[in-house]
Amino acid sequence: MLDNFFNPNSIAVVGASRTPGKVGYDILKNINQYGYPGMVYPINPGASEILGKKAYPSLIGVPGKIDLAVIVVPSKDVIEVIGQCGTKKIDSAIVITAGFKESGIEGSKLENELIRKAKESGVRFIGPNCLGMIDTHSKVNASFAAGMPARGGIGFFSQSGALCLAVLDRALPDEIGFSKFISMGNKADISDTDIMLALAEDENTKVILGYIEGVGDGRKFMEVAKEVTKKKPVIILKSGITSSGAKAASSHTGALAGREAAFDAAFRQSGVIRAHTINELFNFALAFANQPLPQGPNVVIITNSGGPGILAADACDKSDLKIVSPHKDVVDELRTFLPTAASFYNPIDILGDSGADRYEKALTTVLKDEKMHGIIVLLTPTAVVDVDETAMAVVNIAGNTDRPILTSFMGKQRIGSGAKTLLRYNVPNYSYPEEAVSSMNAMYHYRVWINRPEKTYPQFHDLKSKAIHIFEKAAEENKERLTDSEVHDVLTAYGFTVPRSLFARTSEEAVAAARGIGYPVVMKIVSPQVIHKSDMGGVKVGLDSKKAVENAFFDITTRVRNIMPAAQIYGVMVQEMIRGGKEVIMGITKDAQFGHMVMFGLGGIYVEVLKDIAFRITPLSQEDAHEMIRETKTFPLLRGVRGEAEADIEAIEKSLLTLSRMAMDFPRIIEADINPLLVRKRGEGVVAIDARFAIGGE
Ligand code: COA
């Protein structure tokens, strides 16, 4: 896939410049100087030769076939050059030129024209507004980056050219090996998903790394990522988390930054590993590119000092990794050669006077314990230890085991050459123990992802037909919200239990309704304009007598009328009062890029303060529903604390899956909240106490 980009037999640089320091000059220079073996054609109307290569006035005049055109002419000329690509049957181009969507309305128009022209001409292109592309294996450096990374297994794509440069600069001194470097620019044609698919097929790429600010088609991104992550790890750094970050992202390349919850859910549901900093992106990439995956969560730490060992163990505790004690036989063997003051359990502290031999023996011994799935070796550069020798000892052992070994030789000056040795022989070294732990944890998560069984999606019989008339009628009337009774009907159509309710226009009717339902009751205002009823004083609970109901009717209607004089008050809803149980919230929201998501949170009215919520993009699998409940920090409250009975967690799962079905059935739902959903004891189900539905669009 995209072969002419990564492995072209010939390249034309349109806008190759005679002037050193110009972008068109540097690109040609890069293609020449890193050993590209194919034909290179500089295109420049004013030159006969540039950097020793015969130049041509236009693409059309080039005698041979051209596989790839690198376009670096001013923006006003780009479209014409794309047309020439079509005439010359060049199907692949990289548009370096800036001045498109990222620069405003005129630029956006130009970009649309570029897209149209490229389609018409049969040209696929990377960019515009990009730095170019590097393939270390085919020796193509069609970029204006300063330098060429070493050959290796990391395939990197980035929406930001600057980040490409930063990553490259960081990679060069340590000779970190890359297969490909792709600066995506505005992604007007070739997208993240195209690149992920190409890198998934590329035999030189072991791990896929990406930096994105947003994705065009969220659903497609997930679909592709799900397939790709089955074959290779995909690690992505996504910016635009904070609102100011999001603003910068949209003015940067004009990308519409997606909402963070949606990205988190999308990454999680498609097996993408999310890095939160550039450093983390690197750390994870080094681990995945160089070491085998752990088979399980058990990690053993070998250290020559107590503090770092404890830091590493603490970091493991906060992750999904486990610190388990070595097998008794292993401990017995450790005792035969370690000083008595050593610590034989995990972390294994071999003490500050350790040399390379002690490290070697300790490592060899712990590897005899089959239940240790990964090893983290820590070293503080004492005067006694020979860092280089120790690095070689670790390297030799790592080369002969199928279990991952990560190291944290701490410091800078004294460990410099040792750290280089480690990396040269595929053992990533991290500046701090926590980084080694988080990288091991990422590898463990990926192992779990590739081992997990196929997800199961529940089968629903037709629920849609029971509610479709409600949504159709609402659409005809251009309603933005469903009324209380419509909400009631939709919820019951989808099998939710709702409190028994009767509508009352007068206080006499309210008393009759309360009598019919049985005291105590709840009373709620019914008005199309009142959305947050309790904020308006429109809800009264625990009404246990005729008098209380009469007073409440008067009270509620007067208060709402005072606060919102224009509101139409239809009457009140008298409702069965449900007691006991725990309050949770669940709902549906719609993300611009990923579509519908289902949300779950604990805490009822406190949910906005606690923000202890989890999201999944629809359709939800059984596993998604199971996991998202357990993802919330307050989940133990549902299990029951201090002798409380366990809540009906299964019923919550079922409700989440039902909401997911509902969202799939009715794309016009913009937002829905069931808040609170009262969860009773295990086996007793849930009751949707209150709900709201906002609808519209399509
Ligand atoms: N066909 C062929 N060659 C052409 C041409 C055309 N249609 N139009 C111009 N050229 C030649 C020029 O003669 C010049 O060569 P010379 O220096 O030997 O005279 C060369 O191409 C460059 O043209 P010039 O007009 O000098 O442009 P420039 O170098 O100042 O700028 C870009 C061109 C593309 C670099 C600039 O428009 C641009 O987009 N810069 C930003 C790039 C960027 O930052 N990308 C994103 C990175 S993340």
In the prediction, which pLDDT does 245 show?
45
| pLDDT for residue 250 | 36
Rounded CA-CA distance 359/361 in Å is: 6
Q: Is 211 domain-assigned? A: no
Nearest CA to ligand 1 atom 14: 17
Ligand 1 pocket, 45 CB below 6 A? yes
**What pLDDT is recorded for position 630?**
95
Asked whether the bond before 520 is cis by omega within 30 degrees of 0, the reply is yes
Query: Which ligand 1 atom sits closest to the C-alpha of 73?
Result: 34
Which residue of 28, 72, 73, 79 sits with most ligand 1 atoms within 8 Å of its CB, as the best mutation to test the pocket? Answer: 73
* Ligand 1 pocket residue status of 23, Cβ below 6 Å: yes
Q: Is the CB of 21 under 6 A from ligand 1?
A: no
**Cα–Cα distance, 318 to 437 (Å, whole number):** 10
pLDDT, average across residues 469-492: 91
**pLDDT per position as a tens digit, 79-112:** 999 999 999 999 999 999 999 999 999 999 999 9
Question: Any idea which residue has 């611009």 for tokens?
Answer: 592
Mean pLDDT to the nearest integer, 180-203 = 97
- Which residues partner with 615 through β-bridges? 599
pLDDT for residue 254? 26
Model confidence band, residue 257 (pLDDT cutoffs 50, 70, 90) = very low
Residues 525 and 567 in one domain: yes
Range name among 335-349, 583-597, 650-664 with the lowest pLDDT average:
583-597
Closest ligand 1 atom, residue 46 Cα: 13
Residue 251 lies in a domain: no
pLDDT in the model for residue 247: 45
Let me know if residue 481 belongs to a domain.
no
Q: 130: closest CA among 150, 109, 111? A: 111
Residue 81 and residue 166 share a domain: yes
- In sequence order, the β-bridge partners of residue 157 are 182, 210
Does any domain span residue 476? no
Say how many Å lie between the CA of residue 144 and the centre of ligand 1. 12
List of E strands, 192-232:
207-212
Q: Which atom of ligand 1 is closest in space to residue 14's alpha carbon?
A: 2
Note whether 300 and 374 are same-domain residues.
yes
CA of 24 to the centre of ligand 1 (A): 6
**In total, how many domains does the chain have?**
4
Q: Are 6 and 127 in contact (CB under 8 A)?
A: no
Name the domain boundary from 386, 419, 451. 451
Rg (CA), the chain: 31
Cβ of 103 less than 6 Å from ligand 1: no
Q: Is the residue at 88 inside a domain?
A: yes
Alpha carbon distance 148, 168 (integer Å): 8
Strands (E), 261-398: 273-275, 298-303, 322-323, 348-349, 374-379
Q: Which two tokens stand for residue 470?
A: 């409600």
Pick the atom of ligand 1 nearest to 161's CA.
48
- 20: CATH: 3.40.50.720
Residue 589 maps to a domain:
yes
Whether residue 588 sits in one domain with residue 562: no
For the CA of 57, the closest atom of ligand 1 is 2
Nearest protein Cα to ligand 1, atom 11 = 15
Residues 438 and 542 in one domain: no
**% of the chain residues with pLDDT over 70:** 96
Mean pLDDT across the chain, nearest whole number?
Answer: 92
Highest averaged pLDDT of the listed ranges 85-99, 456-470, 593-607: 85-99
Using a 6 Å cutoff on CB, does residue 137 contact ligand 1?
no
CATH classification of the domain holding 529: 3.30.1490.20
Q: Is 133 close to ligand 1, i.e. is its CB under 6 Å away? A: no
Task: Compute the Cα dihedral for 390, 391, 393, 394 and give only its sign.
Answer: positive
Let me know: does 341 contact 349? Beta carbons within 8 Å.
no
CA 227 – CA 167 distance, rounded (Å): 26
In this structure, what CATH number is given to the domain that contains residue 662?
Answer: 3.30.470.20
Q: What is the pLDDT of residue 256?
A: 28
Rounded to 10°, the helix 649-665/622-631 angle is 120
Q: Using CA atoms, how far apart are residues 162 and 130, in angstroms rounded to an integer? A: 9
Positive or negative, the CA dihedral 608, 612, 616, 618 is: negative
Look at 150-164, 357-371, 555-569 and tell me which has the smallest mean pLDDT: 555-569
Maximum pairwise Cα distance, the chain = 100
Identify whether 292 is part of a domain.
Answer: yes
Same domain, 551 and 409: no
Write out the two tokens for 418: 């040792």
Is the minimum distance from the CB of 77 to ligand 1 under 6 angstroms?
yes
Measured between alpha carbons, how far is 237 from 422 in angstroms, rounded to an integer?
26
Our answer on whether the CB atom of 130 is closer than 6 Å to any ligand 1 atom is: yes
Q: pTM for the whole thing? A: 0.90
Residues 123, 200: one domain? yes
The finding on whether 400 has its CB within 6 A of some atom of ligand 1 is no
Which range among 154-158, 191-195, 237-241, 448-452 shows the weakest confidence by mean pLDDT?
Answer: 237-241
What is the DSSP-derived secondary structure letter of residue 138? T
State mean pLDDT over 442-462: 92
Angle of the 433-451 helix axis to the 306-318 helix axis, nearest 10:
30
In tens, the pLDDT along 6-43 reads 999 999 999 999 999 999 999 999 999 999 999 999 99
**Best mutation site among 22, 25, 157, 158 for ligand 1 pocket (most ligand atoms within 8 Å of CB):** 22
CA distance 162 to 121: 30
Q: Are residues 630 and 686 in the same domain?
A: yes
pLDDT tens sequence across 491-500: 999 999 999 9
Q: Ligand 1: which of 17, 51, 62 to mutate, most ligand atoms within 8 Å of CB?
A: 17
Same domain assignment for residues 664 and 650? yes
Q: How far is the CA of 58 from the centre of ligand 1 (A)?
A: 14
Task: Please state the rounded mean pLDDT for residues 269-285.
Answer: 95
User: How confident is residue 153, by pLDDT bands cut at 50, 70 and 90?
Assistant: very high
Ligand 1 atom nearest the C-alpha of 77 is 7
Assess if residue 588 is contained within a domain.
yes
Q: Work out the angle at residue 530's Cα, subtended by the Cα atoms of residues 526 and 533, and round it to the nearest 5 degrees.
A: 80
Amino acid identity, residue 630? R
Mean pLDDT on 560-586 = 90
User: Residue 52 in 3-state DSSP?
Assistant: coil
Q: What does the buried/exposed string (b/e) look like for 616-634 if buried means 16 or more CB atoms within 10 Å of the residue's CB?
A: bbbbbbebbbbbbbeebee
Pairing of strands 595-602, 582-591: antiparallel
Q: Are residues 54 and 170 in the same domain?
A: yes
Q: Which residue has the higher pLDDT, 303 or 603?
A: 303
Among 577, 605, 620, the domain-final residue is 577
Of 11-25, 56-70, 476-490, the poorest mean pLDDT is in: 476-490
Residue 483: what pLDDT?
A: 86
Find the distance separating the first CA and the last CA of the chain, reported in whole Å. 36
- pLDDT tens sequence across 604-663: 667 767 778 889 999 999 999 999 999 998 899 899 888 888 999 999 999 999 999 999
- Are 301 and 446 in a shared domain? yes
**Does 156 lie in the same domain as 49?**
yes
Residue 604: its pLDDT value, please?
Answer: 64
pLDDT above 60: residue 156: yes
C-alpha 15 to ligand 1 mean position (Å) = 5
CA distance 303 to 325: 15
Indicate the residue among 394, 418, 451 that finishes a domain: 451
Distance 72 CA to ligand 1 centre (A): 5
pLDDT at 377 over 90: yes
Range of the domain at 377: 287-451
Instruction: Report percent pLDDT > 90 for the chain.
Output: 82
pLDDT at 255 over 90: no
Where does residue 568 fall: left (phi above 0), alpha (psi -120 to 50 degrees), or beta otherwise? Answer: beta
For residue 487, pLDDT beyond 90: yes
pLDDT at 501 over 80: yes
The CB of 97 under 6 Å from ligand 1? The reply is: yes
